[in-house]
Structures are given as C-alpha cells and as structure tokens.
Amino acid sequence: MRRGLRVLAVDDVRPALDELCRLLRTSPRVAGTLGAGEALEALRLIQGDRFDAVFLDISMPGLDGIELGSLLARLDSPPAIVFVTAYDDYAVTAYDIGAVDYLLKPVRQERLSAALEKVTRMATTNGRGAGEAEPTPEAMAALPVESAGRTRYVRRGEVCFVSADGDYVRLHTLSGEHVVRMPISRLEEYWQDHGFHRVHRSYLLALAAVRELRSDSTGGLVAHTEVGDVPVSRRHARQLRELLLRHAQRTESGGDGRIR
C-alpha cells in the first residue's frame, strides 16, 4: 500500500517556496516535502533521493524551470513534473516536455489537490513512485495563442483543421488562423483520440468539421470544411472514408462521435 508521495518544490523566491511547501504538506496525498531555492540545489537533491513529483517555478536565475524540467524528463525514471508559475505563456512548452500539470500563482488548494491526484494516478498506473511524465489527454484541450501582447485560448472543438508550418502549427477556425509553436506530430498525439486524424504529412483534420469529400483538378482527394479544403494523401484516403462513416454512424446513433 502506498504511503504517500515524496515531493520536491523548487522556487528561488523564499516566501513563495515556503507557501508551496506548506500547501503540499497539508495534503493527505503527500508523505514528505523538501524545498530547493534554485535549480542546481534541486538537481543535487534529486541525484541523492527519490521523488515522485517535482513542483517547479519557471522564472529562476541561471537554469530556469523549463530547462530543469527538460533535464528531468530525460532521466530513466523521471519524477512527475508540475510547473508552478505566475506566467501563463509557457503552458505549451511545459506540456511539450511532459508536464503533468501547470499551476498559476497564487496556487489554490483545490488546483494543487487536482495536480497531486494526477501525480498519484500516474504513479499508481506505473506501479511505482515515479515514472514517465506524460500529459493527460485533456492537457491540450485548449491551446494558448499569443497575439499583440495578449493570450487567448483556442479550444480543440473550435478547430476545423491544423496545418504544419515548420516548427509551428496553424489552427484553422471560424474566427481565423492561430499560430502555435508545436510540431504537428506532437499535437496529433494529444488530439488523435478526440476526433482528429492525420490525412497528410502537413495536415491534421477534425472529422466533425468535414462537410464532404471532393476530387481536385488533378484527381486527388480533398476534404471540404467551412474554413477551407484539406488535401488528403492517397495512403490516408481509404482510412479517412472509413473513419468518417464510423463518425457519422456514432453521431446518428447518439454517441459522442469520438473515433476509437
């Protein structure tokens, strides 16, 4: 039977570190908590002990939280990584390196409890205290988009299709195109169980957004959506037709429309 989580909190601001440690220690899920005031101290502690989770601040001098999180994610048996920060514009990067959760300061007890529940569930699934930190399927249910100094969140349900643009993706929605720094292959991992299908090396398509399939002037197949046509490669054409049929059947019968 598990005796609770061992957690390391990392923050260079002492009052913030003390408060985070206090909140962690009040949780019945946590058996032990240590604090580190900077990344190198955290690395020394991790090398000498085992932690189920590391709660990381992002803005720190020297090695920042994102860089430290990236190092931890490469360990053979990495702890779960939870970022705790005053900034909301690092969420995509955080989840991209495998963060379990992303908490905004000031941290509310209920959000902390939810993060610890994810850590516990991951540890239980892996059958040990620490394991590979993979985001939950809902981690990318909405993506933060930067524009003119503001951050807005584009929900997965708003997106008709996604196109690759180098190291970025373009989210095509009724409200326009939104650019996010993320490889399309990574986004596919998160969205493929939520009605999105790779139909071309450069396109990820929301099945619910397809109005019809058409042939283009060269005899190729395109999927028509309200915000534009999406090319479908030959090797994906047959599977797309099958998925669309199953999607339509599930929707017609009152299912949730999710492709399984």
Q: Give the helix ranges, DSSP H, for the chain.
A: 14-25, 39-48, 65-73, 91-96, 109-126, 184-191, 234-252
- In angstroms, the CA 241 to CA 238 distance is 5
* Average pLDDT in the chain: 85
Return the CA Rg of the chain: 21
pTM: 0.51
Q: Which residue has the tokens 């071309």?
A: 200
Over residues 30-47, the mean pLDDT reads 91
Ramachandran region, residue 4 (left: φ > 0; alpha: ψ -120 to 50; beta: rest): left
- In angstroms, the CA 76 to CA 213 distance is 46
35/130: higher pLDDT: 35
Provide the pLDDT for residue 245. Answer: 86
Instruction: Check whether the bond before 106 is cis (ω within 30° of 0).
Output: yes
- In angstroms, the CA 151 to CA 40 distance is 31
Per-residue pLDDT tens over the stretch 217-259: 787 899 999 999 999 999 999 999 988 888 777 766 555 444 3
Of the listed ranges 37-51, 124-138, 144-158, 227-241, the least confidently predicted one is 124-138
Over residues 145-166, the mean pLDDT reads 84
Provide the pLDDT for residue 8. Answer: 97
Query: Is pLDDT above 90 for 102?
Result: yes
Strands 228-232 vs 221-225: parallel, antiparallel or unpaired: antiparallel
Q: How confident is the model at residue 4 (pLDDT cuts 50, 70, 90)?
A: confident
